A and B are shown apart, each in its own frame.
Chain A
C-alpha cells in the first residue's frame, strides 16, 4: 500500500485542446491539491518589461467577467481553501488546495481567473504600489540582493534567467493595463498546459472536472513554446559587491552555471551537490564554514536545472569581518570537489539520502503534486521514481568528479556579496 507514485496509480490524460491532466488518488486525506502550469512565464516578456509576466499573474485574481476581487476571495477563503496565481521564468499558473467537497468550486474559480480576468484599473494601481514597496524592501535585504546580483552577473542582465522577474522600480512603474491584458490574451491558453490533481478524489473524477472547467478553452494566439535559453563561457571570475550601510550581516552567493534538467549528468550533479552542501548539516560546506570555523549561521549549496542551463550556488550569511575567509573556504571546497574523488562513504551516504528521503517528500498531497508536475514538465517517464534508484546507485566516484569538473572551476566563478561594506 505504500508504493511510490508510478504508472500503476497515476492517471495521465491529454484533452483535445492540449491540456495534460495527471491525477493520483490519496484516500487517506480529506483534502485535494491542484497544481497547474501554463507556458506564460517571464521568458516571454523581455528585460524592458521585466515584471510584466508576474504582474499579469498577480492580477488574475483581482477580478473576472463574472466575479469581483471580493467575490473571488470570499469563495475561496470562506471554505478554508487556498488559491494563488504565480509565475516563474518558463511557466506561470495556479495552485491551491481545498477539502474534497470544495474541489469543483476551486477548479471553477481557477478556470475563471485564467480565462476571464478583467484587470480592474484600481487594482492595477494598488498592486503596483504594493510591488514598488516590496522592491524597496528588496533593495535593503542583503540575502535578496546577493541572489539578484548573482543571477544578473552570471547570465547577463538581459538574459531571461539573468534579470529579476519581479521587475525593477522603473519597469514596474511603466507597465500599462493594455500590456497586462495583451500578455494574458496571448500567453494564457491550453496548449501544453499541465494540471495535476492529488488527494481524495478518484482519478476519473479529477479528469472529468478538468474537462468540465477547461475542456472548451482555446487560444489561437498562443505562440510556440520559447526555445530553451543558452549560457555563455566564463573567461574568468567576476565579483560584484552591493553596499547596504547599517546592516550587521553579509550575504554571499558564489556560483557557476549548473546543469540542464535534460543533461545526462543531472543526477550526478545532484549527488555531487549533496556532498558539497546538503548531506547531514549542509555537507562539506556546513562542516567547514559553519561547524569547524564558526564563521556563519548558515552555509549550504544548491544545484538547479531547468530547460536551459541552471545554476550551482554556494550560499552563506557571515559576519562582515569574515567574508574573505568564508570565500576562501568555499573556493577550496570547489577545487576539492572538481579535482579529487569523493570518498566511497560520502558517495554511499548521499545516494542513500536522496533515495531514503523519497517517502518523506511524497508523504503529503503537495509533495506528490510537485513531483508529478516536474515529471510532466520535463518529459520524464511516469515510472521516473521507480527507475531513480538504479540511476542513482549506478553513479561512480568518477562520475561525481566528472560532473563537478564539467561545471565548477574555482578560477572562473561569479561572486555576489551584499552587506554593510
Chain B
C-alpha cells in the first residue's frame, strides 16, 4: 500500500516536471525559460528523493543534493547575467 503511494507521488511529480518543461520550450522570454529550467531541476530533485526513499538506495540522494546545488548556482548566475548584462560582479 505504501509502495503504491510512492509510485503515485512519483507519477505526479513526473507529470508536473513535464508540464514545466512545456513552459521551458514555449516560454516567450528568456526569464520564463530560466525559471522553468530551474523548476525542472527542482522537480528532478523531488523525483530523485522519492526514488531514493522507494528503492532504499541512498545513492540517489547524493545526486539530488548536488543537482540542487548546481541548479541554484546556474540560476543565480543566469539571473545576474540577464539583469545586469554581465557575469560575475
Co-complex (A, B): no
